[in-house]
Amino acid sequence: MILFNQVAAAVLLLSLTLCLQCAGVTTLIEWLKRVLTKDIHKHGPVYSATLVVKSTVAIIILHGLVILLWASFYRTRCFPSWELAFYFSASSYSTVGYGDLILPSNWRLLGPLEAITGVLMSGISVSVLFALVTRLLDRDTPSSLTNSTGQSHA
């Protein structure tokens, strides 16, 4: 019965995490698409830096919400306070895993699962930031890499 409870909780937490992550990343991407189609060539490096900072803050908030999701489960099932639940969730999600706080044995499989999930969700977030920075860097590339005859210098 213990394994069934862990699997059921894992499926629920993973499903909610994926829904939250997909919704957050999709919202961020749609916002970036709208912002990046508005005469981006007219804006300078401060505008680009602002976009990267805003996107990074949005991603940090998104990951904070996912950590809070897992922490809410831990709070109801494993830990006596929100502080402990959030601390454990954040250290697991970020794969820091200090080891000073552990889950009760009947929920122990959730810690490593949250760590795997955190790595994967962080990878998705990094790829969005990478795509943004690449797009910002590439905005000037066609004019700087092509000579007057239309041939590439690269």
Contact in structure between 125 and 59 (CB atoms under 8 Å): yes
Is a pLDDT exceeding 80 seen at residue 42?
Answer: no
Domains in the chain, number? 1
Tell me what pLDDT residue 43 has: 76
Q: Which domain holds residue 115?
A: 2-32+43-138
Rounded CA-CA distance 154/136 in Å is: 19
Identify the DSSP state of 100: S
Task: Report the CATH number that the domain containing residue 98 is assigned in CATH.
Answer: 1.10.287
When mean pLDDT is compared across 40-54, 91-105, 115-129, the lowest value belongs to 40-54
Is a pLDDT exceeding 60 seen at residue 151?
Answer: no
Would you say residue 110 lies in a domain? yes
Would you say residue 148 lies in a domain? no
Single-letter amino acid, residue 132: L
Is a pLDDT exceeding 90 seen at residue 52?
Answer: yes
In this prediction, residues 41-56 reach a mean pLDDT of 88
Would you say residue 153 lies in a domain? no
Would you say residue 150 lies in a domain? no
Q: Residues of 87-113 as b/e, b for ≥16 C-beta within 10 angstroms?
A: bbbbbbbeeebeeebebeeebebbbeb
Would you say residue 86 lies in a domain? yes
Would you say residue 18 lies in a domain? yes
Tell me what pLDDT residue 144 has: 46
In this prediction, residues 44-60 reach a mean pLDDT of 94
In this prediction, residues 107-135 reach a mean pLDDT of 96
Would you say residue 59 lies in a domain? yes
Name the pTM for this structure.
0.86
Which contacts qualify for 55-64: CB closer than 8 Å, 24 or more apart?
A: 55/28, 55/128, 55/129, 55/132, 56/129, 58/24, 58/28, 59/24, 59/28, 59/125, 59/128, 59/129, 62/20, 62/21, 62/24, 62/25, 62/28, 62/125, 63/93, 63/118, 63/121, 63/122, 63/125
Summarize pLDDT for 77-117 with one digit per residue, the tens.
Answer: 999 999 999 999 999 999 999 999 999 999 999 999 999 99
Would you say residue 53 lies in a domain? yes
